[in-house]
Amino acid sequence: MFNSLRLKIARERRGLTKKALAEITGITTRTLSTYENSGLLDATDDVVVEKIATALRYPIEFFNADNPELVVKEGVSFRAMTKLSSAKRDAALSAGTLALEFNQWLENKFNLRKPNLIDCSSDSYTDPESAAQLLREHWNIGELSISNMVHLLESHGVRVFSLSENCVEVDAFSFWLDEKPFVFLNTMKTAERSRFDAAHELAHLVLHKHSSNNGRQAEEQADRFASAFLMPKGSVLAKVPAYPSLDQLLKLKKYWKVSLAALIRRTYDLELSSEWHYRQLSIELSKVYGRKLEPEGMKIMETSLVLQKAFAKLRENNVSRNDVLFELKLPRDELSAISFNNPFFLFQSVSSDSTYKKSEPDGRISAPRLKAVN
């Protein structure tokens, strides 16, 4: 039975309009609209379905699966909505939908951590700085620098996936679903920016679980939380002198693994820099280093430890890449895109990616149930 909703998801992931897909496949726009808008179709033309699947580079089995859990735009906050095209937004949301299916598959095979976050959304007296400190205390990390934001989130039950959208307006996004927190990070950013994005989305999960995470105020609150969480007040006051020079901050930023611009802003927020000094530092930063590249930036992007362990365990149990693709009914590039381009999807399989291997007569994979990821 052909699922129209899945056609829409695949088309959005490939960044195609209905008209563009119709032209690629040689199918009329009217026929394509029928396939995309009719819900579940019992009677379909095999030739048409094959053309659609080939053009979108998705397995035919994907279009015959049940309705997925959708990530809806109302529950997600994008920071640059005025600059973000609807096509880029829909592609990112559809990536989230695919990740939800992948996450459910992972949960069926592994024991993942349960969420361990605090909820400050209903407490009007908890400002972002205080909320960041409360969460640090809740997680027993005190004033310590955070070595890896993605690993920290995962260790407390946050499901973290990647976005390969080549679009600066899609920084990251997050949401709660069935009491599970999800964070999606754009891999096209600098490592420092990605860490700040992770802390920013953590802020939305903590500050806006039961309130709106949209709008300028929510974004400003998330930025303040992220800054305080990555660069705790006590630690910064202990290490950064009053009216610091750019060279001093360039050395100190490595301790907190943040961008130089973020640390400059933090000195102003904590009154280590006056407004004039803050502006002078920002001007010097732009003049000396420019606006695009991070000076003396981190060499390695932070990625998922949970997925790394999961894929390692799958290989241990002789579960191939094609086995995984067959069960999930997804193309390799899509799974790679949401899993930080894990090498599991880069290795060459013995069998072709276009044909998924069935390990059992009924199509189920016979790998043992895995319980190794913590």
Burial label for 129, CB within 10 Å (0-12, 13-18, 19+), is middle
Q: How far apart are CA 278 and CA 225, in angstroms?
A: 20
Is residue 369 pLDDT above 50, yes or no? Answer: no
User: How do the domains of the chain map onto residue ranges?
Assistant: 2-67, 70-230+304-374, 233-289
* Residue 152, SS3 per DSSP: helix
Would you place residue 358 in the very low, low, confident or very high pLDDT band (cuts 50, 70, 90)? very low
Would you place residue 39 in the very low, low, confident or very high pLDDT band (cuts 50, 70, 90)? confident
Give the tokens for residue 159. 């499901």
How far out from the chain centre does Cα 55 lie? 26
Smallest CA-to-CA distance from 226 within 203, 248, 247 is with 203
**Start-to-end CA span in the chain (Å):** 38
Residue pair 195/187 in contact by the 8 Å Cβ criterion: no
- What architecture (CATH level 2) is domain 2-67? Orthogonal Bundle (1.10)
Greatest Cα-to-Cα distance within the chain, rounded to the nearest angstrom: 73
Looking at the chain, the whole-number percentage of residues with pLDDT higher than 90 is 74
Smallest CA-to-CA distance from 226 within 247, 257, 255 is with 257
Q: How far apart are CA 140 and CA 346, in angstroms?
A: 37
- Say if strands 159-163 and 180-186 run parallel, antiparallel, or are unpaired: parallel
Give the tokens for residue 196. 């700040």
- Say if strands 180-186 and 2-3 run parallel, antiparallel, or are unpaired: unpaired
Beta pairing partners, 163? 186
**For residue range 341-350, what is the model confidence (pLDDT) as tens digits?**
999 987 554 4
Q: How far apart are CA 87 and CA 204, in angstroms?
A: 24
pLDDT attached to residue 81:
60
Q: How far apart are CA 211 and CA 77, in angstroms?
A: 12
The full length of the chain comes to: 374
User: Could you count the other beta carbons within 10 Å of the beta carbon of residue 306?
Assistant: 23
Q: Which is more confident, 303 or 125?
A: 303
Is residue 361 pLDDT above 90, yes or no? Answer: no
Q: How far apart are CA 226 and CA 368, in angstroms?
A: 40
The amino acid at 128: P
* Stretch 232-239: mean pLDDT: 97
**Crossing angle for the helix pair 86-109 and 321-328, nearest 10 degrees?**
110
Averaged pLDDT of the chain: 89
The amino acid at 341: N
Is residue 293 pLDDT above 90, yes or no? Answer: no
User: Could you count the other beta carbons within 10 Å of the beta carbon of residue 182?
Assistant: 21
Token pair 């400190």 in the structure block, residue: 133
Is residue 324 pLDDT above 50, yes or no? Answer: yes
Is residue 43 pLDDT above 50, yes or no? Answer: yes
User: Could you count the other beta carbons within 10 Å of the beta carbon of residue 298?
Assistant: 16
pLDDT attached to residue 75:
76
